């Protein structure tokens, strides 16, 4: 799997690159937003990991621009800024997930796996071709039980072909998928690696070439004539449902051990080469302020370094150090914006600096896992040339958790729809250009079956317009004399009813108070909520209700949530069902276990109302968006 990491802090980037490579991910890096944007548009990546504070183009702008151009690859945002407003902005810009620095590597890997798993068609743990087997979880390849020792490039090529059995790859496409741009190999490198892979397969007894040369086009996987691929995968998956092999455990432990060694090594490098300079800069600012001097440029540099420390120290095990650095950043930001400071602020800065130095003299420990928040907003496309009305609508929509986008004519509206689908359309029927007709547009929308509620919103009094709009399938007909808050109320109602017809949620928890609370939270948003207190009836209710999202508690009598998740993931009919866990546990082992069995998200009890609602909305939105995308054969 190929990941694009966009991070301007070289030590953070180094830590993430080496750690993720230990888990067999191929990493491409960019040090600024503009370079990252160009790489994302030029090459194919399975995931983008993106910092927010970047030179040339910030991460939020980069994410928003990619989404506006129809880019569908999952995006995970990392930042040391834990403010709610920034999390809101990041998710609204199109991010799929959000982690606050300092980042726990094991948590990051779990999030990456969840995004990759949900972003693509689920692939079996073991992929087979005749008697050849590739175990994705352990990155081991065997033929007739004999293990093959492949180079990283050979393994990458083999996995790519097995995942795409009918696809022809040109040499340039293989270079983009398996090699990083920094390696800059020629196309002969592909030929060399494929030749080496073929030779190793022959050496263990494979008589027929696995990889077929399609002259003039490239390479593809030869057809599996024995038809063992499906049976072999099912057999292997069944074995792995019963137990985790010792080989898999050994592989996992090895990767985790490698990460710990890397973290320690990079910390020593960081401490020797940069930490001293950062602390010295902060000390210099403190000395200047104590002397009654404010150097704006130096203050800005110190604020930047404090921000970097806040995002870096926790990665090395100094979680308290990250919190102190964040406090220093906020305090310096306040002084910088006011151009003045008080004695109390100066004393606080001195106290924080002393605390930071004391923390850094201690031995590092494992940082706590930071919370993640996703806060999506429903999107409304207003198709109307009345800009005064549009601006009023935008302002008042914020109170309804709505984001209004405006298209002043039907051509602009069609362009927006080609990029992404809004949740509701507000459509005027008449435009200055007499060739543009709102009813014609409504008919086109209905025929395309976008499934978007269309509210006709016009100043026309003609009754025939009402009749025609109803015939063409408009959700409701509103006159422009109606107050804007009433219009937005109708929009929210349309959203809730539309969601309810397409989104059913099943909640399993042995606590009836929790079940009732979750149901009351989700009901106003239009979800059809089914609750289950007794897990022994789980499968019967699941098949009867066919939910589009499953919410599970962990600790329950008879069957716990992790066991239920495993059952769902091991059934082909339900393997794509999004699963969100609710639990009072926040320890690292529990979180890892949850993601290891196939969870998509994790919310800690006691439930934060906005947090749960927005995570559910975001998960449903992403699922429905993928359904609208064309399937590539």
Asked whether residue 367 carries a pLDDT value surpassing 50, the answer given is no
Calculate mean pLDDT across residues 20-29.
80
- pLDDT of 259: 61
- Kindly report the backbone phi and psi dihedral angles of residue 178, in degrees, each rounded to the nearest multiple of 5, phi listed first: -115, -30
d(CA 453, CA 451): 7
d(CA 331, CA 339): 12
- pLDDT of 403: 87
Task: Please indicate whether residue 269 or residue 537 has the higher confidence score (pLDDT).
Answer: 537
Q: Which domains can be identified in the chain, with CATH numbers?
A: 2-119 (3.40.50.2300), 131-223 (1.10.10.10), 250-360 (1.20.120), 378-493 (3.40.50.2300), 503-628 (3.40.50.2300)
* Region of residue 209 (left: phi > 0; alpha: psi -120 to 50; beta: else): beta
Using pLDDT thresholds of 50, 70 and 90, give the confidence band for residue 379.
confident
Give me 119's structure tokens: 């972003």
The neighbour count for residue 497, using CB atoms within 10 Å, is 12
- pLDDT of 562: 92
Q: Which residue, among 538, 510, 499, 531, has the nearest Cα to 616 in the 3D structure?
A: 499
Indicate the helix (H) or strand (E) that contains 112: helix 105-119
Per-residue pLDDT tens for 299-313? 888 888 887 787 677
Which three-class secondary structure state does DSSP give residue 406?
strand
Residue 543, classified by CB atoms within 10 Å of its CB into exposed (0-12), middle (13-18) or buried (19+), is exposed
Using pLDDT thresholds of 50, 70 and 90, give the confidence band for residue 527.
confident
Asked whether residue 433 carries a pLDDT value surpassing 60, the answer given is yes
d(CA 154, CA 194): 7
**C-alpha 468: how far from its chain's center?**
42
Give me 517's structure tokens: 């609370």
**Cα–Cα separations (whole angstroms), residue 488 to 395, 495, 567:** 11, 10, 42
- pLDDT of 183: 66
Asked whether residue 627 carries a pLDDT value surpassing 60, the answer given is no
- pLDDT of 371: 35
Calculate mean pLDDT across residues 224-252.
46
Give the list of residues 6+ apart from residue 336 with CB closer than 8 angstroms, or none.
296, 299, 300, 303
Instruction: Tell me which DSSP letter residue 55 carries.
Output: S
d(CA 415, CA 381): 12
Instruction: Tell me which DSSP letter residue 275 carries.
Output: I
- pLDDT of 184: 65
Instruction: Give the start-end residues of each E strand in 52-170.
Output: 75-79, 97-100, 126-129, 132-135, 140-143, 146-148
Using pLDDT thresholds of 50, 70 and 90, give the confidence band for residue 122.
very low
Asked whether residue 72 carries a pLDDT value surpassing 50, the answer given is yes
Asked whether residue 226 carries a pLDDT value surpassing 60, the answer given is no
Asked whether residue 550 carries a pLDDT value surpassing 90, the answer given is yes
Instruction: State the residue for tokens 């907003």.
Output: 377
Give me 202's structure tokens: 């022959």
- The sign of the dihedral angle between the CA atoms of 443, 449, 452, 453 is positive
Instruction: State the residue for tokens 């999952």.
Output: 74
pTM above 0.85, yes or no: no
- pLDDT of 630: 45
Using pLDDT thresholds of 50, 70 and 90, give the confidence band for residue 505.
very high
**Cα–Cα separations (whole angstroms), residue 168 to 134, 172, 216, 426:** 20, 12, 11, 44
- pLDDT of 531: 92
Calculate mean pLDDT across residues 289-304.
85
d(CA 249, CA 238): 17
């Amino acid at each position: 799997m190929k990941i694009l990491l966009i991070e301007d802090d070289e030590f953070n980037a180094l830590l993430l690159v080496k750690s993720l490579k230990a888990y067999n991910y191929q990493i491409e890096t960019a040090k600024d937003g503009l370079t990252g944007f160009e790489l994302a548009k030029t090459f194919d990546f399975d995931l983008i990991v993106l910092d927010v504070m970047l030179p040339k183009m910030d991460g939020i702008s980069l994410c928003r621009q990619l989404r506006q151009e129809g880019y569908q690859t999952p995006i995970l945002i990392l930042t040391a800024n834990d403010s709610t407003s920034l999390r809101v902005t990041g998710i609204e810009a199109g991010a799929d997930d959000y982690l606050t620095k300092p980042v726990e590597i094991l948590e990051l890997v779990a999030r990456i796996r969840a995004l990759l798993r949900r972003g693509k068609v689920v692939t079996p743990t073991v992929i087979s071709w005749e008697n050849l087997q590739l175990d994705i979880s352990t990155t081991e390849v065997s033929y007739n039980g004999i293990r093959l020792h492949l180079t990283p490039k050979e393994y990458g090529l083999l996995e790519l072909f097995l995942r795409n059995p009918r696809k022809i790859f040109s040499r340039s496409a293989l270079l983009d998928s398996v090699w990083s741009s920094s390696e800059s190999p020629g196309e002969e490198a592909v030929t060399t690696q494929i030749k080496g892979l073929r030779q190793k397969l022959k050496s263990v007894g494979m008589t027929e070439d696995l990889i077929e040369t399609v002259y003039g086009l490239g390479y593809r996987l030869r057809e599996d004539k024995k038809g063992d691929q499906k049976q072999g995968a099912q057999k292997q998956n069944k074995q792995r449902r019963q137990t985790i092999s010792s080989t898999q455990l050994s592989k996992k432990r090895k990767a985790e051990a490698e990460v710990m060694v890397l973290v320690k090594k990079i910390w020593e490098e960081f401490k020797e080469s940069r930490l001293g300079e950062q602390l010295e800069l902060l000390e210099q600012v403190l000395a200047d302020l104590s002397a009654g001097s404010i150097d704006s440029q130096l203050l800005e540099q110190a604020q930047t370094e404090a921000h970097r420390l806040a995002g870096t120290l926790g990665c090395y095990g100094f979680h308290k150090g990250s919190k102190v650095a964040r406090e220093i950043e906020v305090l310096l930001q306040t002084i910088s914006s006011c151009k003045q400071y008080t004695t109390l602020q100066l004393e606080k800065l001195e106290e924080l600096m002393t605390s930071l130095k004391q923390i850094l003299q201690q031995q590092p420990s494992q940082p706590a896992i930071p919370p993640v928040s996703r806060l999506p907003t429903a999107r409304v496309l207003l198709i109307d040339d009345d800009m005064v009305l549009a601006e009023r609508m935008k302002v008042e929509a914020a109170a309804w958790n709505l984001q209004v986008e405006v298209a002043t004519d039907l051509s602009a509206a069609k362009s927006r729809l080609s990029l992404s689908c809004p949740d509701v359309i507000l459509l005027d029927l008449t435009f200055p250009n007499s060739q543009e007709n709102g009813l014609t547009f409504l008919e086109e929308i209905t025929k395309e079956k976008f499934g978007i509620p269309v509210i006709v919103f016009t100043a026309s009094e003609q009754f025939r317009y009402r009749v025609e709009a109803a015939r063409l399938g408009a959700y409701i007909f509103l006159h422009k004399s109606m107050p804007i808050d009433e219009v937005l109320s109708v929009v929210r109602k349309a959203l809730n009813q539309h969601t309810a017809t397409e989104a059913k949620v099943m909640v399993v928890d042995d606590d009836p108070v929790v079940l009732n609370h979750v149901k009351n939270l989700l009901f106003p948003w239009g979800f059809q909520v089914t609750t289950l207190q007794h897990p022994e009836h789980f499968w019967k209710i699941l098949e009867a209700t066919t939910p589009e999202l499953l919410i599970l508690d962990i600790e329950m009598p008879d069957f716990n949530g992790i066991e239920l998740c495993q059952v769902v993931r091991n059934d082909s009919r339900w393997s794509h069902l999004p699963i969100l866990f609710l639990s009072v546990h926040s320890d690292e082992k529990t979180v890892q276990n949850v993601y290891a069995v196939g969870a998509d998200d994790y919310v800690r009890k006691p439930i934060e109302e906005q947090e749960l609602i927005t995570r559910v909305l975001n998960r449903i939105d992403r699922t429905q968006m993928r359904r609208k995308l064309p399937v590539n054969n």
